Amino acid sequence: MGVLAKPELPPGANPDWTIPQGFEHYSEAEHQTWTTLYERQAEILPERACDEFLHGLDALDLHGQGIPDFRQLNETLSGLTGWRIVAVPGLVPDAVFFDHLANRRFPAGNFIRGAGELDYLELPDIFHDVFGHVPMLTDPVFADYMQAYGKGGRRALSLGSLANLARLYWYTVEFGLLRTPQGLRIYGAGIVSSKTETIFALASDSPNRLGFDLERVMRTLYRIDDFQQVYFVIPSLTYLLDVTTGTDFGPLYAKMSNMPDIPIAAIEPGDKVFTRGTQEYARSGGRLRQGAA
């Protein structure tokens, strides 16, 4: 994998990579794209997204009336958990990203995907960032977890252990599942902002679904180009917060540095198996082969 080019600070951006959202510049078509994406998710998320996510949509009045104004969202969000959304032009350097999270600032892209790429995009746009990530920031426990992650990220960078911590983010914040008395529910932004993966993550018999274990997750490889082949299940948001803030990551990083990464579709001895997946979707070529949106 090539070394990711160090993104250059775009002209006009602040040293912390923040920019004005430019709310007044969005076109009618861009507002309509948001509404279309919102309506598709609103239809399928009940009984699939966790209660904390759905309550967050209500608390923020994120109900599909076009692209939201960060100034309005921030008044409500900061009152609930002290978090604020800051607009950025796209991915920002890791150190910048962690510093924002450590200060309860969530960096959200201010651009929205084109009408022709509704179903899949590599880069996080405003719908992924704001619809996918922000509702969970209204939950006090998850809000604490995200700030702890930011503080941990700064430390991981200093220890050269970013890869392990990025996997923790990937398998929780982006693609995490939560166990509830009503069954498994989604809290990961990468799933909840995707129509097709929202269905796949809970209903398909292709992926593994395994009980969350901190070391196991931080050793497990992941993919960025298609549906996940494994989802990790937490028993509660409090568990996730407690196990991460209660762990000294230094010795854990040192221990993992002498251990091999775990392949994406592996099931290891000691795994708590909710679903032993067939991996049929991945084996059949996934999104590219099946033309799945």
> According to the binding rule CB under 6 A, does residue 16 interact with ligand HBI?
no
CB < 8 Å & 24+ apart, contacts of 189-193: 189/128, 189/129, 189/132, 189/133, 189/136, 190/128, 190/132, 192/41, 192/45, 192/49, 192/53, 192/131, 192/132, 193/37, 193/41, 193/127, 193/128, 193/131, 193/132
Only one of the segments 45-53, 153-161, 184-192, 231-239 lies at the binding site for Fe ion (rule: CB under 5 A); that segment is 184-192
Q: How far is CA 232 from CA 146, 187, 222, in A?
A: 17, 11, 12
Only one of the segments 31-39, 87-95, 227-235, 263-271 lies at the binding site for ligand HBI (rule: CB under 6 A); that segment is 87-95
Q: How far is CA 17 from CA 3, 13, 86, 109, 121, in A?
A: 21, 5, 9, 11, 22
The site partner of 277 among Fe ion, ligand HBI, none (C-beta below 5 to 8 Å per kind) is none
Residue number with CB closer to Fe ion (60 or 189)? 189
Only one of the segments 77-85, 92-100, 112-120, 251-259 lies at the binding site for ligand HBI (rule: CB under 6 A); that segment is 92-100
The whole-angstrom separation of Cα 83 and Cα 254 is 32
Residue number with CB closer to ligand HBI (187 or 281)? 187
Residue number with CB closer to ligand HBI (144 or 281)? 144
For the chain, helix, strand, coil in percent to 5 are: 50, 10, 40
> According to the binding rule CB under 6 A, does residue 92 interact with ligand HBI?
yes
> According to the binding rule CB under 6 A, does residue 253 interact with ligand HBI?
no
Q: Which of 91, 148, 233, 266 binds ligand HBI (CB under 6 A)?
A: 91
Q: Which of 37, 57, 88, 177 binds ligand HBI (CB under 6 A)?
A: 88
Only one of the segments 30-38, 79-87, 90-98, 238-246 lies at the binding site for ligand HBI (rule: CB under 6 A); that segment is 90-98
Shortest Cβ distance from residue 46 to ligand HBI (Å)? 26
Backbone phi, psi, residue 177, to 5°: -115, 150
Site for ligand HBI in 156-215 (CB under 6 A): 166, 169
- Beta-strand ranges (E) seen in 110-259 are 177-180, 183-186, 208-211, 230-234
Q: Is residue 147 within a helix (H) or strand (E), and if so which, with residue range?
A: helix 140-159
Residue number with CB closer to ligand HBI (94 or 119)? 94
With beta carbons less than 8 A apart as the criterion, state whether 89 and 17 touch.
yes
Q: Is residue 88 within a helix (H) or strand (E), and if so which, with residue range?
A: strand 84-88
Residue with tokens 């600032």: 105
Only one of the segments 55-63, 183-191, 231-239, 281-289 lies at the binding site for Fe ion (rule: CB under 5 A); that segment is 183-191
Site for ligand HBI in 94-153 (CB under 6 A): 94, 97, 107, 124
Residue number with CB closer to ligand HBI (97 or 231)? 97
Only one of the segments 19-27, 81-89, 116-124, 274-282 lies at the binding site for Fe ion (rule: CB under 5 A); that segment is 116-124
Shortest Cβ distance from residue 234 to ligand HBI (Å)? 18
The whole-angstrom separation of Cα 217 and Cα 173 is 12
Residues that bind Fe ion (CB under 5 A): 124, 189
Residues that bind ligand HBI (CB under 6 A): 88, 91-92, 94, 97, 107, 124, 166, 169
